[in-house]
Structure 1
């Protein structure tokens, strides 16, 4: 089984940074989704894709994956860039 480990990104619609230091381990899908004939919703028999494990650090998530024999991929967090500008720059 494979998993991916990534850090939660800040919500673009809010300025707060709550829970952005949390690392998440998500299992990769093992079977493709298919439409349900009655409702038309996409679904599969793979229940592992619903599992999201939260960890305080990247090292804790990696240790969990190695302890349970999971192959994992760490997705690096992109660097945060700030665009510093003054309010007067809106009127140039």
Structure 2
């Protein structure tokens, strides 16, 4: 069973960057999920996929996986470049695109 080490991406529904500055170690499931006939939920007997560990840096997450002999994969994430703008720039006269209601 492999562990996946990644950095969470921000939500597409907001521009906030909360909870995206840490690294997460999660276990990937080896067994396929089955469907519970009563509720229709996906169920699994593998309890390791419920574990989610948080680390401040990538080095801490990788060293934890190595010291505990956990095979792991690192999924890199690219940080998007943000252009800082103020609210008043929405109403500038030299704006490139027209702004109307």
TM-score bracket, normalised by the shorter chain, equals 0.7 to 0.9
The number of aligned residues is: 92
Structure possessing the higher relative contact order (Cα contacts under 8 Å, 6 or more residues apart): 1
Q: Which consecutive unaligned segments of at least 5 residues does structure 1 have?
A: none
User: 2:21 — aligned with what?
Assistant: 21
Normalising by structure 1, report the TM-score: 0.84
After TM superposition, give the deviation of residue 79 of structure 1 in Å.
3.8
Higher strand share: 1
Work out the CA distance in 1 between the residues paired with 2:68 and 2:98: 53
In structure 2, runs of 5+ residues without a counterpart are none
TM-score w.r.t. the length of structure 2 is 0.77
**Cα RMSD for the two superposed structures:** 2.2
Q: Please report how far the alpha carbon of residue 83 of structure 1 lies from its aligned counterpart in structure 2 after TM superposition.
A: 7.1
